[in-house]
A and B are shown apart, each in its own frame.
Chain A
Amino acid sequence: MGFAKLADTALMRIGQLCLFLMLLSLLLIVGIVVLRGAPALTAEMITQTPKGGFYLGGGGGVLNAIVGSLCLAFGAVILAMVAALPIAVVLQKEYSRGAEWARIARFALDLLWGIPSIVYGAFGFLLMVWLGWGMSLGAGIVTLALVILPVMVRTMEEVLASIPRSVMEPSFALGATRLETISMAITRQALPALSVACLLAFGRAIGDAASVLFTAGYTDYIPGSLSEPAASLPLAVFFQLGSPGKEVQDRAYASALILLAVVLAITLLARRLGGRFEKSIIR
């Protein structure tokens, strides 16, 4: 019996240790980025675009990357939402009970979900060449939208499916069509959770670098239109880190701090909102 007890405690301690290691690593990541980034984070960093000789230690900031990233992520979320919401709606039982096309679409979305973003990037590049576009904000938005589409459909589908039947049945009983039921009765219930889904997709889009590397390119200027290249924060970190010179690398840490702060804020906000909205949903 002594051995069994010992093994029991040991298993618990090992589990705790493993969990602790993971959380310690998270703490280290945040700690290192804050410690190294905070001293280099000046007002100039977030209010100015790079000036001449920026990558050799000249003046300026990463406003181009901040604006570029926001444009890319916003555009991608809006574009993906336009496609994801109708898909999520028609994958509901009311529309597609047991239909073969729905089964195949679900399967395809599952597989799309697993494709790495660099492959999307390569595909986006092919698409871009085929359409005759250059590296541009528009191409980046389209590629990013493809990256976040599967996860968005999945979350939205899940949200819509979690709405209880008792909310829909009165609506059907009053003679409303499926569209009316979904657009009027269900969205009231699901809108908060749907916006959380968009928020999470936004966080994912803003941190993704491999797909925009090919398609949005990188530039020192704020994009003026969809056909101009756009910078992004992850790539700003990457390129600055790759340059020699301590000042430039310090800026990479500062850019990383900005990126991390945005992403953490989004994750925590989504969590808070998700928790709060769950309470107000009728079950």
Chain B
Amino acid sequence: MADERIRIKWVHGLDLRKLADGACLRLGQAFAVCAIILLAAIAAGLFFKSLPVLTNARSDAFFSDNWHPSMGEFGIFPFVVGTISTTVVAMFLAAPLCLFAAIYLSEYAGRKVRENAGLLIEVLAGVPSVIFGLWGILFVVPLVRDVIGPWFGTPTSGFSILSAGIVLALMVAPIIVSLSVEVMRGVPKAMREASLGLGATRAQTVWKVILPESRNGLVAAVVLGFSRAIGETMAVMMVVGNVPGYPKGIFDPAYPLTALIANNYGEMMSLPLYDSALMLAALVLLFVVLVFNLIARGVLRSMQGASRGGKNASKAIKIR
């Protein structure tokens, strides 16, 4: 009898608590597994949706440059070129700008400056894409049309790869700068002091000590910026001109993959294979972005054991 009572108490007390603990673990695990499944589902869903256009005999969807949805021709190659050109221009502008800014913030600026600049960079990172686009239309496009274009002797409407590159460069700047600063701050203080103590200037220290030490992390920061730039939609779409075809220079308009998807979602159910072609565009974007992310994270992971810079950077990535 007494045993029975103890047993019941045990069931109602301790066991329930243990049960709840276990249930919570299972729930969380289930959600975590869902996240894994989600990734697979996105890739699989886009792949199966784009199969019809890939297997379509009428046109080679990947390397053809014939984009005539009404005739069933869906060559997305010019759009791939559009994405690559805007992104590359953006990174040519952003990488030096951000690295110099990061060197200043990390090696020269005092605590106060660094904190205030950090706040402003955070604000910049929070500005919605469509507002960058608005700024692009009101400021960058006229700048390119009236100042930069004539300067190079090229008449341009302003809606061009260069405009998109400038807007994109500013959009990815926050992530590149904040990661780079983290990476450089992660170089051990002793190394910096040893170099300065030998009489090297700060510039020499940056060149000989900080940059070699944090090279991989900086590469990862730029690569992550790259993958962000590839996926940007609204802002790019508003300033790039959206003219299909191969651009001849940076003052020509282009038509990136993201803009293609966003501009045509309305009509995509009206023509056969059209939705499939747009899903192929999304699949290509997904693939490229995943590859870039894998590279960046691989680089950071390999650094993590070796130096503190890598550790700091991967922490910064987690937070942002």
Q: With a CB–CB cut-off of 8 A, which chain A residues contact B285? A: 116, 118-119
Interface string of B203-231 (1 = CB under 8 A from A): 11010000000000000000010011011
A241 at the interface (CB under 8 A from B): yes
Which residue of chain A has the shortest Cβ distance to B124 in the bound complex? A26
Range class of the B interface residue count: 35 or more
User: Are A253 and B134 also in contact (CB < 8 A) when A123-B46, A213-B265 are?
Assistant: yes
Asked whether any CB of chain B lies closer than 8 Å to the CB of A281, the reply is no
Let me know if B108 and A12 touch, CB within 8 A. yes
- Name the contact of A12 in the complex, choosing from B104, B124, B129 (C-beta under 8 A): B104
Interface string of A11-40 (1 = CB under 8 A from B): 110111111011101101100110010000
- Please measure, in the bound complex, the distance between the C-alpha atom of A214 and the C-alpha atom of B170, giving whole angstroms: 26
- Would you list which residues of chain A between 98 and 118 have a CB under 8 Å from chain B? 101-102, 104-105, 108-112, 114-118
Given the contacts A87-B35, A208-B128, A21 and B97 also touching, CB distance less than 8 Å: yes
Smallest CB gap from B135: residue in A: A29
How far is B137's CA from A24's CA once the two chains are assembled, in angstroms? 17
B194 adjacent to chain A (CB < 8 Å): no
Flag if B97 contacts A115 (CB, 8 Å): no
Contacts of B289 in A (CB 8 A): 114-116, 119
**Would you call B42 and A95 a contact (CB within 8 A)?**
no
The distance from the CB of B220 to the nearest CB of chain A, in whole angstroms, is 12
In the complex, the chain B residue whose C-beta lies closest to that of A122 is: B282
Q: Is the CB of A83 within 8 A of B34?
A: yes
Q: CA of A263 to CA of B201 in the docked complex: distance in angstroms?
A: 42
Known: A11-B202, A22-B170, A114-B290. A203 touches B126 (CB 8 A): yes
Bin chain A's interface residue count: 35 or more
In contact, A180 and B265 (Cβ under 8 angstroms): no
Q: Does B144 contact A (CB under 8 A)?
A: no
Minimum C-beta distance from A179 to chain B (A): 4
Q: Are B49 and A126 in contact, with the CB atoms below 8 A?
A: yes
B320 contacts across to A, CB distance below 8 A: 151
B interface, by DSSP: helix, strand, loop or mixed?
helix
A190 an interface residue at 8 Å Cβ cutoff?
no
Chain B residues whose C-beta falls within 8 Å of the C-beta of A15 in the assembled complex: 100-105, 108
Once the chains bind, are B129 and A209 in contact (CB under 8 Å)?
Answer: yes
Which B residues touch A263, using CB under 8 A? Answer: 126-128
Chain A, 145-184, CB within 8 A of any chain B CB: 146, 149-151, 153-155, 157-158, 177-180
B265–A26 CB distance below 8 A = no
B51 at the interface (CB under 8 A from A): no
- B191 close to chain A: CB less than 8 A: no
Stretch of B24-32, B73-81, B156-164, B305-313 lying at the A interface? B24-32
CB of A268 within 8 A of CB of B123, answer yes
CB contact list, B250-295 vs A, under 8 A: 258, 261-262, 265, 278-279, 282, 285-286, 289-290, 292-294
Alpha-carbon distance A208/B39, docked complex (angstroms): 20
For B33, give its contact among A22, A23, A105, A150 (CB under 8 Å).
Answer: A105
B residues within 8 A CB of A90? 24-25, 28-29, 31-32
Query: Which of B31, B32, B297 is close to A110, meaning CB atoms less than 8 Å apart?
Result: B297
Residue from the list B17, B101, B233 in contact with A22, Cβ < 8 A: B101
What string of 1s and 0s marks CB contacts (under 8 Å) between A76-99 and chain B?
000000010011011100010000
- Which residues of A have CB within 8 Å of B204? 4, 7-8
- Chain B residues near A101: list those with CB within 8 A: 29, 32-33
- Quick one: which of A87, A101, A120, A263 has the most chain B CB within 10 A? A87
User: Which segment, of B1-9, B53-61, B114-122, faces chain A?
Assistant: B114-122
Nearest neighbor of A22 in chain B, beta-carbon distance: B173
A11 near B42: Cβ-Cβ < 8 Å = no
Smallest Cβ-Cβ distance to B166: which chain A residue: A25
**CA of A8 to CA of B199, assembled, Å:** 12
Residues of A within 8 Å of B147, CB to CB, are none
- Asked if B233 and A209 sit within 8 Å, CB to CB, the answer is yes
Instruction: Tell me whether A256 and B134 are in contact (CB under 8 A).
Output: yes
Task: Assess whether A271 is in contact with B122, with CB atoms less than 8 Å apart.
Answer: yes
Of chain A, the residue at the smallest CB distance from B102 is A15
- Most chain B beta carbons < 10 A, residue from A29, A95, A153: A29
A222 at interface, CB cutoff 8 A: no
A74 at the interface (CB under 8 A from B): no
Tell me which residues across on chain B come within 8 A of A203, comparing CB atoms: 126
Interfacial chain A residues near B317, Cβ < 8 Å: 110
Known: A11-B100, A22-B124, A119-B231. 11 other contacts (CB 8 A): A90-B29, A105-B33, A111-B294, A115-B289, A116-B232, A117-B233, A118-B282, A126-B49, A209-B234, A210-B262, A213-B265
6 nearest CB pairs, A to B: A116-B231, A15-B104, A207-B128, A90-B28, A86-B28, A8-B201
B residues contacting A by CB (< 8 A) are 17-18, 20-21, 24-25, 27-29, 31-36, 38-39, 41-42, 45-46, 49, 96-98, 100-105, 108, 117, 119-124, 126-135, 137-139, 170, 173, 177, 201-204, 206, 224, 227-228, 230-234, 238, 258, 261-262, 265, 278-279, 282, 285-286, 289-290, 292-294, 297, 315, 317-320
Task: List 16 interface pairs A-B (beta carbons < 8 Å), by A numbering.
Answer: A23-B120, A26-B124, A26-B127, A101-B29, A101-B33, A102-B32, A108-B36, A110-B297, A115-B289, A119-B42, A126-B45, A177-B21, A203-B126, A208-B128, A210-B262, A234-B129
